[in-house]
């Protein structure tokens, strides 16, 4: 008699795809690939095909796949204690919080389950800060056009793309949208009700647009002048991806609140928002915010080990070195290939603006054994594991050129 385990082992790619399509809510148009395992900077599907990964699970797997040290830390915690709730203290999150706060340059951290939840917490902290300051409840937040901050109702409210927002309106009131990298557009929106200005340090989903230094510094000066909180979303561009532990450190513009997720757990679902001492002391208090799973021992062990590895191996320095070579090669491609009209990005967060259908390029790249993703309507997004070497950049270029030429 055939066992269930044997049946599962003999399932074909089409069977797995059919099982997902029949049982999982259809909110993603997935590529017809069943990924089975990963090692280093490569992924393998259920049919044995090998792919060079320049997507990293949407900028999550910064240490690549199969990092033994991280895996062992997670496995050891599974055998020790996975969850307690935040009604008690636990050792892993104490260690993780200490490392994370030190790396962030801010004073306090709240661990969440995702980047979206980190945005929710940041919004609440900003509004509570303003409420304590003046007792009003009609405060406004300035966010940016072309931005993306998540899919919950609060995060959608500050996402500057009507495509995502309209079907779920009405959303949070008091959100006004300025033009990213246009300081005058921000100044025009500031009024006595403004409590925070929220933006990605490098816009990701919107097409890989780094903040201009003058813009970010101008917004910071405006915030300091008016007692407005600067919230920087570093969910995708942080954790070493741009060449410093957090992208704002490149600009020397410290936020009052910062959100993080994705690579903070390198595959373990975890996010966080960080607060300056001033905001932490005058915003959220017991009863204002909470989470059942956030900061439990399992994710604490992962976050603790991720920060330890990043610091010991000096991952940001490696990103600066390889990122410079990556940028150089992409600039060569932009100069030589008519289908590429622009390159944008910092470090290992890069985008190529294309004149040809970007979705078709992604599919052609998969046929070449390369995984890349999109950003916006016509941008190819390249966010590989941060452990790539120059040889992987060269391999990617060969495969991408073949995809573009085909």
* Whole-prediction pTM: 0.96
Alpha helices for 55-200 (secondary structure H): 56-59, 68-80, 91-104, 115-134, 153-157, 162-165, 183-189
Are 310 and 285 in contact by the 8 Å Cβ rule? The answer is: no
Interatomic CA distance for residues 131 and 283, integer angstroms: 8
Identify which of 176, 178, 147, 182 has the alpha carbon closest to the alpha carbon of residue 163: 147
pLDDT at 8: 52
Q: Which uninterrupted H or E stretch holds 324?
A: helix 315-336
Are 370 and 400 in contact by the 8 Å Cβ rule? The answer is: yes
Domain boundaries along the sequence of the chain? 4-60+315-405, 69-313
- Convert the pLDDT of each residue in 232-290 to its tens digit: 999 999 999 999 999 999 999 999 999 999 999 999 999 999 999 999 999 999 999 99
Could you give the strand order of the β-sheet that contains 349-354, starting from the edge strand earlier in sequence?
340-346, 349-354, 379-382, 373-375
pLDDT at 162: 93
Interatomic CA distance for residues 367 and 353, integer angstroms: 21
Interatomic CA distance for residues 350 and 362, integer angstroms: 15
Sign of the CA dihedral with 20 first, then 21, 23, and 28 last: positive
Interatomic CA distance for residues 237 and 338, integer angstroms: 28
Q: Which CATH class is domain 4-60+315-405?
A: alpha beta
What six digits make up the tokens of 357? 């259908």
Are 383 and 241 in contact by the 8 Å Cβ rule? The answer is: yes
Identify which of 406, 353, 376, 384 has the alpha carbon closest to the alpha carbon of residue 51: 384
pLDDT at 10: 52
pLDDT at 12: 83
Looking at 1.10.1740.10, 2.60.120.10, 3.20.20.80, 3.40.640.10, the CATH number of the domain 69-313 comes to 3.40.640.10
What share of residues in the chain are helix, strand, coil (percent, to 5)? Answer: 45, 20, 35
373: Cα separation from own chain's centroid: 14
Residue numbers of the chain with a pLDDT score lower than 70: 1-11
pLDDT at 92: 98
Interatomic CA distance for residues 400 and 202, integer angstroms: 24
Alpha helices for 24-112 (secondary structure H): 56-59, 68-80, 91-104
220: Cα separation from own chain's centroid: 22
Q: How many residues does the chain have?
A: 406
Interatomic CA distance for residues 380 and 340, integer angstroms: 10
């Amino acid at each position: 008699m055939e066992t269930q385990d044997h049946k599962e082992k003999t399932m074909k790619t089409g069977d797995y795809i059919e099982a997902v399509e029949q049982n999982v809510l259809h909110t993603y148009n997935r590529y017809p690939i069943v990924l089975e395992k990963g090692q280093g900077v490569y992924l393998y599907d259920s049919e044995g095909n090998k792919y060079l990964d320049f997507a990293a699970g949407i900028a999550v797997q910064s240490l690549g796949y199969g990092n033994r040290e991280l895996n062992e830390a997670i496995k050891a915690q599974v055998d020790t204690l996975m969850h307690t709730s935040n009604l008690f203290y636990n050792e892993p999150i104490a260690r993780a919080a200490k490392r994370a706060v030190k790396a962030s340059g801010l004073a306090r951290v709240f661990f969440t389950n995702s980047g979206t939840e980190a945005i929710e917490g940041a919004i609440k902290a900003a509004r509570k800060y303003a409420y304590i300051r003046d007792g009003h409840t009609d405060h406004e937040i300035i966010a940016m056009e072309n931005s993306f901050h998540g899919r919950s109702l609060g995060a959608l409210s500050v996402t500057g793309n009507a495509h995502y927002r309209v079907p779920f309106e009405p959303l949070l009131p008091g959100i006004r949208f300025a033009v990213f990298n246009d300081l005058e557009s921000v100044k025009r929106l500031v009024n006595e009700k403004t409590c925070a200005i929220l933006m990605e340090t490098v816009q990701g989903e919107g097409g890989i647009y780094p903040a201009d230094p003058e813009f970010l510094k101008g917004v910071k000066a405006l915030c300091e002048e008016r007692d407005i909180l600067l919230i920087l979303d570093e969910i995708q561009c942080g954790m070493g991806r741009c060449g410093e532990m957090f992208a704002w450190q490149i600009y020397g513009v410290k936020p009052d609140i910062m959100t993080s997720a994705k690579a903070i757990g390198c595959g373990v679902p975890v996010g966080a928002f960080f607060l300056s001492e001033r905001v932490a002391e005058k915003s959220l208090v017991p009863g204002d915010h909470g989470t059942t799973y956030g900061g439990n021992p399992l994710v604490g062990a992962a976050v603790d080990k991720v920060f330890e590895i990043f610091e010991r191996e000096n991952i940001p320095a490696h990103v600066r070195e390889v990122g410079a070579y990556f940028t150089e090669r992409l600039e060569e491609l932009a100069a030589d290939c008519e289908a590429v009209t622009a390159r944008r990005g910092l470090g290992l967060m890069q985008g190529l603006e294309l004149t040809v259908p970007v979705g078709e390029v992604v599919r052609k790249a998969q046929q070449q054994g390369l995984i890349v993703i999109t950003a916006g309507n016509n941008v190819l997004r390249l966010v590989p594991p941060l452990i790539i070497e120059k040889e992987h950049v060269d391999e990617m270029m060969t495969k991408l050129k073949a995809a573009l030429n085909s």
